[in-house]
Structures are given as C-alpha cells and as structure tokens.
Amino acid sequence: MATEAATNDLTAALEDYIETIYELVRDRGVARVKDIAKARGVKAGSVSPALKRLSDLGLVRYERREFVTLSPAGEAAARKVHGRHELLTRFLTEVLRVSPSVAAADACVIEHDISDETMDRLVRLFEFLRACPQGTQSVLGRFHDCPLVREDAPTCGHACGIRVPGARRTKDEMCALSDLLPGERARVARIDADGAVRQRLLDMGILPDTVIEFQRTAPAGDPVWIRVQGYQLSMRRGEADTVHVRREAE
C-alpha cells in the first residue's frame, strides 16, 4: 500500500510516467508498455525499470507482458500532476499568451517543482478572473492589448512611458540605459529588443525592477560597462539603447 512518503519519493521522471499512464488509461482504457514508451518518446526497454520502481512504491500494478494500471494512491498522485500541468498550460497560454507547444513543454518542467502555495495562488487567480465582472477586461484585457505585448497594438494614451512609434514623448518618459552617466543607478523598466538580443539581455539578469549601475563607456563609445546583481558586465551600446530604465532617486 503506497504511503505519502512513497509519493514524496517520486522523481520528476517517475511523475511523468504516472501522468502518461493516467492519460492512456483515461483515453484508451488501457496502458501498455509499448504505448507508454511511444508517448514518452523512449525505448520500451527503458520503461520497465521505471514501472518496477513505481510498483515498489505501490503506485502501479505491473506484471511483464500485462497491462499497467494505477493503484488508488498512484491515481491520486497522477491526478495531482496532471491537474498542475493543465492549469499551468492554461496560465501560460491564456494569461501570458505563450504558444501552445511551448506552453505544454514548459508546463511539463514546472509542474514537478511548483509549491502547493503557488499552485493555490494560480487557482485563486483564475477564480478571480472568472468571478470578478471586471477582472478579465481590467487586468488581462489591458495586458493583452498593451504595446509591450502586441507589436501591432496602438498607443493607449496613458503616460506609462511606453514608447510607441509615432507617439509623442511624455514628461515622465524613461531613458535608455546608455543615457546614464557613470555612477548613476537605475531600475530596469523594459527591454525593447527582440529575438536573440532580448534573450541575451534576459540571460544577463537584466529583468524588470533590477537595479543597474552604469559604470563607464569605452573611449570609442562601444561597449559600455554596467554592474548588475553584484557583477560587472559589458554590453554593446546598441543593446544598452534598448534597455529602458528609471533613474533611482538619490
């Protein structure tokens, strides 16, 4: 009989297996080794050790050349993982507008480590969006229609500092990171770059609200040096032009 301790011993890979078995039984009525292997994209020979471990934990019933079934404890564990996957996929696609294929892949990674507390907050977010008459329009509607999210979105007219081609500058407009003077500190507001350049900046730790200290510029004007999260980094001036910041009050 599986215990809570047994389910706590589940690795991410084993959770993927019980989720796959759960889906196969739900959709086809049975789960066979070859079907599990095909669904997981692995060789049939690698499925048996995983099933043996799950059987030892009391989460599946498995005999060689027989169908695989989940025990009550295994079904409960599978439902939990599957439910997390479904809600995370919805959050990524419906809220963040991530493409379905990427959302499904990312949900598979996140579902194993996300805490119960964070999952509860995600559930509460969906409850709020469904229960509040103005929830979707006032929060997600503005987010989905914002020029930061949609390249073809028109300016909304609010003085939030978002630069839109052809729009007039606002009094409270942010400046580019490259406009800072040596020794000045500022918080990141947004990055206007796309593709590989944007990803490189994110990987450098240039994220919203991160404090950056501008240190110096090369004599020729390129590159520039900054300090972020305790590390000195260099970046192309063109990259620094795409990072919009708000100066820190002295």
Which CATH number does the domain housing residue 221 bear? Answer: 2.30.30.90
Specify whether the CB–CB gap between 191 and 211 falls below 8 A: no
Given a cut of 60, is residue 28 above it in pLDDT?
A: yes
* Whether residue 4 is found in the same domain as residue 89: yes
Q: Which domain-ending residue is among 59, 87, 113? A: 113
165 belongs to a structural domain: no
146 belongs to a structural domain: no
Rounded to whole angstroms, the Cα distance separating 130 from 175 reads 38
Q: Name 222's Cβ contacts closer than 8 Å, sequence gap at least 6.
A: 236, 237, 238
Rounded to whole angstroms, the Cα distance separating 167 from 23 reads 51
The neighbouring-strand residues paired with 245 are 175, 188
229 belongs to a structural domain: yes
Instruction: Classify residue 106 by burial, with Cβ atoms within 10 Å: 0-12, 13-18, 19+.
Output: middle
pLDDT for 137 equals 57
Q: Choose the weakest-confidence range: 16-25, 90-99, 152-161.
A: 152-161
The tokens 């509860």 sit on which residue?
120
164 belongs to a structural domain: no
26 belongs to a structural domain: yes
Q: Which domain-ending residue is among 63, 98, 113? A: 113
* Whether residue 190 is found in the same domain as residue 84: no
* Whether residue 4 is found in the same domain as residue 102: yes
* Whether residue 102 is found in the same domain as residue 6: yes
Closest by CA to 238, choosing from 191, 205, 202, is: 191
pTM, two decimals, is 0.67
92 belongs to a structural domain: yes
DSSP 94: I
80: containing domain = 1-113
Specify whether the CB–CB gap between 90 and 98 falls below 8 A: no
* 187-238 pLDDT tens trace: 888 788 878 888 888 878 787 778 889 999 888 888 999 888 777 888 899 9
Average pLDDT over residues 5-18: 79
Please state whether beta strands 211-217 and 60-61 pair in parallel, antiparallel, or not at all (unpaired): unpaired
Specify whether the CB–CB gap between 239 and 201 falls below 8 A: yes
Q: What percent of the chain has pLDDT over 90?
A: 27
* 12-21 pLDDT tens trace: 899 999 999 9
Task: Give the chain's radius of gyration (CA, Å).
Answer: 25
pLDDT for 150 equals 64
* 157-182 pLDDT tens trace: 554 554 444 444 444 467 889 889 99
Domain count, the chain: 2
Confidence of residue 152 (pLDDT cuts 50, 70, 90): low
Which CATH number does the domain housing residue 105 bear? Answer: 1.10.10.10
pLDDT for 248 equals 82
Q: Name 74's Cβ contacts closer than 8 Å, sequence gap at least 6.
A: 2, 18, 21, 54, 58, 59, 60
Q: Which domain-ending residue is among 78, 113, 148? A: 113
Average pLDDT over residues 63-84: 86
* DSSP H stretches of helix in 111-172: 116-131, 135, 142-144
CA 113 vs. chain centroid, Å, equals 12
Specify whether the CB–CB gap between 216 and 180 falls below 8 A: no
* Whether residue 103 is found in the same domain as residue 179: no
